Structure 1
Amino acid sequence: MIGLPGRLAVADDGLEKWIERYLDLAVRGVRSAEVQGKIARHLQRFRLWIEAHERISAVTAREVTAWRGHLAAGVEQTATGRATGMAPATVNNHLAHVSALFSWITAHAPAGLPPSGDPTKRVEPLRLPAPEVQHRSAP
């Protein structure tokens, strides 16, 4: 365990604890308060999705892919109460934050945790729509 305080149990497998470690050791004090909050919210959304087992050793690429689809399909409520999906760029931003978390965990956790390596490495970001062509007006 590189750079982790001695009070942390080597065998600890809880996703919530690893998210807090990551935020404490790699995000807070390094990123702006606005970015820290954004990363924390994105990781919290992921943790709530995984809450059935809450163990990083059990997170699979299939679950990360399902979560990505869940975000795109409709988790946000509009003012009328209708669910709407997040934009592909927003979903990809969430995925990037979870990927950074698992890259950090893979580098700092004891050997074999997570047992199959980083589950986000096999999850592709959503394709972004083609940019709209903007016509310039003649002078």
Structure 2
Amino acid sequence: MSIKYTEDHEWLNIEGDTATVGITHHAQDALGDVVFVDLPAVGATFAQKDVAGVVESVKAAADVYMPVSGEITEVNEALRADPALANTDPLGAGWFFKVKLSDASQTAALLDETAYNAFSQNA
């Protein structure tokens, strides 16, 4: 298990060739109360940095970008039913989707927790 972060404020929990993806504490703090999420379809494939979904809050809407290339294997239906999970538990029950990595080498360029924390303090 390895957790990585992107400069677009997504996190990935990588286990083998699959990653669980969600938004970070920083992202949900900036958005405010999340009221809607648009999740990708299971089976859809995306290239790294493609828009894979949208998260809407009372303040703004933001795209959710694919942190790595791959195929969506699962989406969090609980999040669709209760978007506030993105606020209350963004690194746990508020995950967005799972992706089967098509190029695991892309994870090498992602940030570790220390680098992400330094980046997000200046964001």
Q: TM-score, normalised by structure 2?
A: 0.28
Higher strand share: 2
Q: TM-score, normalised by structure 1?
A: 0.25
Indicate the structure (1 or 2) with the bigger Cα radius of gyration: 1
Higher helix share: 1
